[in-house]
């Protein structure tokens, strides 16, 4: 199949681009499109040209797999410049998603006709880039600098309707996009006027309110949090408003190349492919048909259960929420309604959409009402006996083939499954709080879980907008097991001389949204206190805080002090005194601790644990671990996840540092894993070290 096909009908050339699956602008497609469009341009039997795409979408962007490799001509900018110079009307017929370079291609045309379900956007910022083929200049020319700034810095696509309101789309097609685009092109050709390329439409850009643009830019810059791409997007849009067209294009190119060569974009591109790779699970081929999930049941209407129920309803799935008594159920449903209300008041959800979602909920205090559910997930207390009891009750009522899921964060899913008569249908579904917001879903594959159940969970995750990673059974699975390793040295660091605020600042400087002590205060110190007690463990400082009634934000005191009802942490001298006294009691000499030491003693053990997780086969690949950490715990995207970061630092450096701390402290957490040692010795990536025995 050729990448581009041209047909001529009533003097209109229809050029159809075809590069499955998403019509990414690979070299072959650029070359094919260039030749086809040049031929249509030079053909005297053609009065106008329509560019459309085969398959499920219009061009979804440049081919990301070609990034970082030498560019083969024609490059996308040359292709767009050629289209823009055509004197016959050119029309982009857009269905599916016109994204990135795809939208830039459409901006090179004189007109854009879109299917009513189409989405248009410039998501390059999510790859650590900016639109590099004229998007930061042509879009502001068409829709105004301020509207363009929002679209480019957020990277979020908009609907065809919105694009029409913005003036980005000229016509929304009814049922037959291509025919309507052809008719539109005919009408334009018949007008006999020379069509005006976007670069010549200067009215909108010249009317830019520069002060308002700068105010909006300052707001976006404030939220950039160390990422380079949003700042470059701002600069490029500012250039569009202040420089001549070609100078703005040239500046855009320079910014694009700088970002492309930078570490941040490399990390973000890694995450793009890692997310897709994670859906490819060994033993779960495309031949396995997922089970149909028409209705879901959620047991427990607390924070976790309510969040999971909302996540399911957000994916359009009717949810039956089951609680122990009518009061708890009413409270749970009221919280859900309140949460949707907040989204409406913030403008992120319409009242109609919120009402539609609320209509998907039904409540019950009777397990028998779960009989028609295809997927039942429990979010009850983290206790094996309680889990056994809940699954015995579920089993008694669930229909054959229903998927039974536990939202446990730590417990042995094999043991939960073993106590049921339906081990094949049982799976772990570890959501992250708040479950309606956090994108990660750890799908825990127990020994007996049916591959069909895993395939169904992957399909469900996609449907409800979650990023899924399939993991094996161990204490804490991938995320919480590594979190424990990250936190193992925190107490020691405090005793030896660091302060909570110093450690949190080091984490913030690294790019985390929140440091570990702010996170502990948010979650409640009593949770880890209870866990420690259950395991016979102690933590001198954290235990003393709990004993003093300092349980975190909920008591307005924890590692920090909080003003009533507020979430801003304030340094509390009492905590400082408590830490110093504890250190004295424990006989620990305090000294200055550097930021570097904090990173080495928190991040490196976590990387080490990740490597052990790989060795044990709990995670399939290093990039799966990166996805867990970026989407579940806020690991900075600009660093690509812990395992990517480790590899960019150099595995040999990680091994040497771990070994040094192992020698200094004698603690097992620092003993380098054999995978790391092996990868360093053989100078291999973690993936290669795993596969090349």
From candidates 132, 140, 197, 472, binder to ligand 3H9 by CB under 6 A? 132
- C-alpha 379/C-alpha 390 separation (Å) is 10
Q: Report the DSSP beta bridge partners of residue 320.
A: 297, 362
From candidates 202, 225, 276, 567, binder to ligand 3H9 by CB under 6 A? 276
Phi, psi of 578 (to 5 degrees): -60, -40
Taking the complex as a whole, the smallest distance from the CB of residue 79 to ligand 3H9 amounts, in Å, to: 10
Residue closer to ligand 3H9 by CB (options 124, 678) is: 124
> Considering the rule CB under 6 A, would residue 627 count as an interface residue with ligand 3H9?
no
CA 8, 12, 13, 14 torsion: positive or negative? negative
> Considering the rule CB under 6 A, would residue 64 count as an interface residue with ligand 3H9?
yes
> Considering the rule CB under 6 A, would residue 479 count as an interface residue with ligand 3H9?
no
Tell me which stretch binds ligand 3H9 (CB under 6 A): 30-38, 127-135, 311-319, 662-670.
127-135
114 C-beta neighbours (distance < 10 Å), count? 29
Taking the complex as a whole, the smallest distance from the CB of residue 276 to ligand 3H9 amounts, in Å, to: 4
Site residues (CB under 6 A) for ligand 3H9, limited to 83-122: 97, 99-101, 104
Q: In sequence order, which residues have a C-beta less than 8 Å from that of residue 507 and are 6 or more positions away?
A: 514, 515, 516, 602
Taking the complex as a whole, the smallest distance from the CB of residue 130 to ligand 3H9 amounts, in Å, to: 7
Residue closer to ligand 3H9 by CB (options 133, 394) is: 133
Active-site residue, selected from the candidate residues 9, 38, 84, 124:
124
From candidates 1, 21, 45, 352, binder to ligand 3H9 by CB under 6 A? 21
> Considering the rule CB under 6 A, would residue 133 count as an interface residue with ligand 3H9?
yes
> Considering the rule CB under 6 A, would residue 380 count as an interface residue with ligand 3H9?
no
Residue 413's SS3 state is helix
From candidates 49, 51, 52, 62, binder to ligand 3H9 by CB under 6 A? 62
Residue closer to ligand 3H9 by CB (options 55, 302) is: 55
- C-alpha 599/C-alpha 640 separation (Å) is 16
From candidates 13, 14, 24, 467, binder to ligand 3H9 by CB under 6 A? 24
CA atoms within 13 A on the CB side of 468: 21
- C-alpha 134/C-alpha 151 separation (Å) is 14
The C-alpha R_g of the chain, in whole angstroms, comes to: 28
Size of the residue set binding ligand 3H9 (CB under 6 A)? 25
Pairing of strands 119-121, 111-115: unpaired
From candidates 76, 217, 288, 679, binder to ligand 3H9 by CB under 6 A? 76
Residue closer to ligand 3H9 by CB (options 627, 689) is: 627
Residue closer to ligand 3H9 by CB (options 270, 295) is: 270
Structure tokens at 581: 């006294």
End-to-end CA distance of the chain: 40
From candidates 2, 7, 65, 72, binder to ligand 3H9 by CB under 6 A? 65
Residue closer to ligand 3H9 by CB (options 130, 474) is: 130
Sheet order of strands, 48-53 included = 4-9, 12-17, 48-53, 90-94, 111-115, 171-173
Phi, psi of 191 (to 5 degrees): -65, -25
Whether residue 104 lies in the annotated active site: yes
Taking the complex as a whole, the smallest distance from the CB of residue 117 to ligand 3H9 amounts, in Å, to: 13
Taking the complex as a whole, the smallest distance from the CB of residue 425 to ligand 3H9 amounts, in Å, to: 27
Tell me which stretch binds ligand 3H9 (CB under 6 A): 40-48, 130-138, 169-177, 386-394.
130-138
Site string for ligand 3H9, 246-275 (x = CB under 6 A): ---------------------------x--
CA atoms within 13 A on the CB side of 351: 1
Whether residue 214 lies in the annotated active site: no
Residue closer to ligand 3H9 by CB (options 104, 442) is: 104
From candidates 74, 108, 128, 131, binder to ligand 3H9 by CB under 6 A? 131
Tell me which stretch binds ligand 3H9 (CB under 6 A): 33-41, 126-134, 515-523, 536-544.
126-134
Residue closer to ligand 3H9 by CB (options 132, 332) is: 132
From candidates 12, 93, 106, 127, binder to ligand 3H9 by CB under 6 A? 127
Taking the complex as a whole, the smallest distance from the CB of residue 290 to ligand 3H9 amounts, in Å, to: 15
- C-alpha 665/C-alpha 673 separation (Å) is 16
Residue closer to ligand 3H9 by CB (options 18, 526) is: 18
618 C-beta neighbours (distance < 10 Å), count? 21
Instruction: Please report, to the nearest 10 degrees, the dihedral formed by the alpha carbons of residues 276, 282, 286, 287 taken in order.
Output: -170
From candidates 32, 74, 89, 123, binder to ligand 3H9 by CB under 6 A? 123
- The answer to whether 69 and 89 have CB atoms below 8 angstroms apart is no
Active-site residue, selected from the candidate residues 104, 180, 275, 442:
104
Taking the complex as a whole, the smallest distance from the CB of residue 100 to ligand 3H9 amounts, in Å, to: 2
Taking the complex as a whole, the smallest distance from the CB of residue 272 to ligand 3H9 amounts, in Å, to: 7
Q: In sequence order, which residues have a C-beta less than 8 Å from that of residue 491 and are 6 or more positions away?
A: 539, 540, 541, 542
Taking the complex as a whole, the smallest distance from the CB of residue 16 to ligand 3H9 amounts, in Å, to: 18
Sheet order of strands, 119-121 included = 97-99, 119-121, 158-159
Expressed in percent and rounded to 5, the helix, strand and coil fractions of the chain are: 55, 10, 35
Distance between alpha carbon 549 and the CA centroid of its chain, in Å? 37
Burial of 269 (0-12, 13-18, 19+ CB in 10 A): buried
Site string for ligand 3H9, 563-592 (x = CB under 6 A): ------------------------------
Tell me which stretch binds ligand 3H9 (CB under 6 A): 58-66, 142-150, 185-193, 363-371.
58-66
Single out the residue of 281, 632, 275, 642 nearest to residue 445, CA to CA.
281
> Considering the rule CB under 6 A, would residue 672 count as an interface residue with ligand 3H9?
no
Taking the complex as a whole, the smallest distance from the CB of residue 687 to ligand 3H9 amounts, in Å, to: 16
Please list, residue by residue across 509-530, b when 16 or more beta carbons sit within 10 angstroms of its beta carbon and e when fewer do: ebbbebbbbbbbbeebbeebbe
- The answer to whether 221 and 231 have CB atoms below 8 angstroms apart is yes
- The answer to whether 658 and 608 have CB atoms below 8 angstroms apart is yes
Residue closer to ligand 3H9 by CB (options 128, 195) is: 128
> Considering the rule CB under 6 A, would residue 124 count as an interface residue with ligand 3H9?
yes
Burial of 400 (0-12, 13-18, 19+ CB in 10 A): exposed
Structure tokens at 202: 């200067």
CA 611, 617, 623, 627 torsion: positive or negative? negative
Instruction: Give the DSSP H/E element, type plus range, for residue 13.
Output: strand 12-17
From candidates 47, 63, 180, 425, binder to ligand 3H9 by CB under 6 A? 63
Taking the complex as a whole, the smallest distance from the CB of residue 479 to ligand 3H9 amounts, in Å, to: 23
Residue closer to ligand 3H9 by CB (options 79, 145) is: 79
Chain contacts with ligand 3H9 (rule: CB under 6 A): 21-22, 24, 57, 60-65, 76, 97, 99-101, 104, 123-124, 127, 131-133, 135, 273, 276
Active centre residues (catalytic): 104, 124
């Amino acid at each position: 199949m050729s990448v581009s096909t041209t047909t001529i009908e009533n003097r209109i050339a229809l050029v159809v681009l075809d590069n499955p699956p998403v019509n990414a602008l690979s070299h072959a497609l650029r070359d094919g499109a260039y030749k086809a469009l040049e031929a249509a341009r030079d053909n005297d039997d053609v009065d106008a040209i329509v560019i459309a795409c085969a398959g499920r979408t219009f061009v979804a962007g440049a081919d990301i797999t070609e990034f970082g490799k030498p560019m083969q001509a024609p490059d996308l900018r040359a292709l767009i410049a050629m289209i823009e110079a055509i004197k016959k009307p050119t029309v982009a017929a857009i269905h599916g998603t016109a994204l990135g370079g795809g939208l830039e291609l459409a901006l090179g045309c004189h007109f854009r006709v879109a299917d009513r379900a189409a989405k248009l956007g410039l998501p390059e910022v999510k790859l650590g880039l900016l639109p590099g083929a004229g998007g930061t200049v042509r879009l502001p020319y068409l829709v105004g600098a301020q509207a363009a700034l929002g679209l480019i810095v957020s990277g979020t696509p908009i609907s065809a309707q919105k694009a029409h309101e913005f003036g980005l789309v000229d016509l929304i097609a009814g049922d037959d996009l291509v025919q309507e685009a052809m008719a539109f092109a005919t009408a334009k050709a018949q007008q006999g006027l020379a069509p005006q390329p976007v670069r010549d439409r200067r009215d909108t850009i010249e009317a830019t309110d520069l002060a308002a643009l700068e105010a909006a830019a300052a707001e976006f810059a404030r939220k950039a949090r160390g990422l380079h791409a949003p700042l470059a997007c701002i600069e490029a849009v500012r250039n569009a408003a202040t420089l001549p067209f070609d100078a703005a294009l040239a500046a855009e190119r320079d910014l694009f190349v700088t970002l492309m060569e930078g570490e941040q974009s490399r990390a973000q591109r890694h995450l793009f492919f890692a997310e897709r790779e994670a859906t490819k699970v060994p033993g779960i081929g495309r031949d396995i048909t997922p089970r149909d999930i028409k209705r879901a049941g959620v047991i427990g209407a607390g924070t976790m259960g309510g969040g999971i129920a909302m996540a399911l309803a957000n994916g359009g799935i009717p949810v039956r929420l089951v609680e122990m008594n009518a009061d708890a159920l009413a409270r749970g449903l009221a919280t859900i309604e309140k949460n949707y209300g907040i989204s409406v008041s913030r403008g992120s959800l319409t009242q109609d959409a919120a009402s539609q979602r609320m209509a998907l909920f039904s409540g019950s205090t009777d397990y028998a009402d779960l009989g028609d559910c295809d997927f039942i997930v429990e979010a009850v207390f983290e206790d094996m006996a309680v889990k056994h009891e809940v699954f015995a009750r579920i089993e008694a009522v669930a229909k054959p083939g229903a998927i039974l899921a536990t939202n446990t964060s730590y417990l042995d899913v094999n043991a939960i499954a073993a106590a049921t008569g339906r081990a094949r249908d049982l799976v772990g579904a570890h959501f992250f709080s708040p479950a309606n917001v956090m994108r990660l879903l750890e799908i825990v594959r127990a020994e007996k879980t049916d591959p069909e159940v895993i395939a169904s969970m992957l399909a469900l995750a996609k449907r409800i907008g979650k990023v899924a990673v399939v993991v094996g059974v161990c204490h804490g699975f991938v995320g919480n097991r590594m979190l424990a390793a990250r936190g193992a040295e925190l107490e020691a660091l405090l005793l030896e001389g660091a302060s909570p605020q110093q450690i949190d600042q080091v984490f913030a400087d690294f790019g985390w949204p929140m440091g570990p002590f702010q996170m502990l205060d948010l979650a409640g110190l009593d949770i880890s206190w209870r866990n420690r007690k259950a395991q016979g463990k102690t933590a001198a400082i954290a235990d003393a805080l709990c004993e003093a009634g300092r349980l975190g934000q909920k008591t307005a005191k924890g590692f920090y002090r909080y003003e009533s009802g507020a979430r801003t942490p304030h340094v509390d001298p009492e905590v400082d005194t408590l830490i110093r006294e504890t250190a004295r009691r424990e006989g620990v000499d305090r000294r200055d601790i550097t930021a570097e030491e904090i990173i080495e003693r928190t991040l490196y053990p976590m990387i080490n644990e990740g490597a052990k997780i790989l060795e044990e086969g709990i995670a399939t690949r290093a990039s799966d671990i990166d996805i867990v950490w970026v989407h579940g715990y806020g690991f900075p995207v600009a660093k690509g996840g812990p395992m990517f970061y480790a590899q960019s630092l150099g595995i040999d450096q990680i091994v040497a540092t771990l070994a040094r701390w192992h020698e200094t402290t004698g603690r097992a957490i620092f003993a380098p894993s054999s995978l790391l040692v092996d990868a360093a010795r053989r100078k291999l990536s973690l993936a290669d070290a795993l596969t090349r025995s």
